[in-house]
Amino acid sequence: MGDLFAPQHLMLILLIILIFFGGKKIPELMRGLGKGIREFKDAKDNVQREIEGHINDTSSSNNNSSKNITSGTSEKV
């Protein structure tokens, strides 16, 4: 069995897609695919920023707590 992504196989797949969807529909499909990928990337970046923000908040609050403990002072909450 040959490589699935051999040039002959890719040409056959592209030909089948062209037959099923036609030349006018393919740009619309690619535009929708690009928009979906862009939205996924934006959501991923937002989640990553949120996680990093929480990590930074947690580490800064831990640093403040350790400073209070080492200096011998305590804060009442």
Asked whether residue 12 is domain-assigned, the answer is no
Q: Tokens 């930074």 belong to which residue? A: 56
Asked, for residue 14, whether it belongs to a domain, the answer is: no
Query: Rounded to an integer, what distance in angstroms lies between the CA atom of residue 77 and that of residue 75?
Result: 6
- Structural domain that includes position 50: 23-60
Q: How far apart are CA 37 and CA 42, in angstroms?
A: 9
Q: Does a structural domain hold residue 41?
A: yes
Domain presence at residue 28:
yes
Question: What per-residue confidence (pLDDT) applies to 76?
Answer: 54
Q: Does 4 reside within a domain?
A: no
39 occurs within a structural domain: yes
Closest CA to 64 of 56, 53, 49: 56
Whole-angstrom distance between the N-terminal and C-terminal Cα of the chain? 70
Whether 36 maps to a domain, the answer reads: yes
Structurally, the chain folds into a number of domains equal to: 1
Q: Is residue 46 part of a domain?
A: yes
Tens-digit pLDDT profile for residues 41-54: 999 999 999 999 98
Q: What's this model's pTM, rounded to 2 decimal places?
A: 0.52
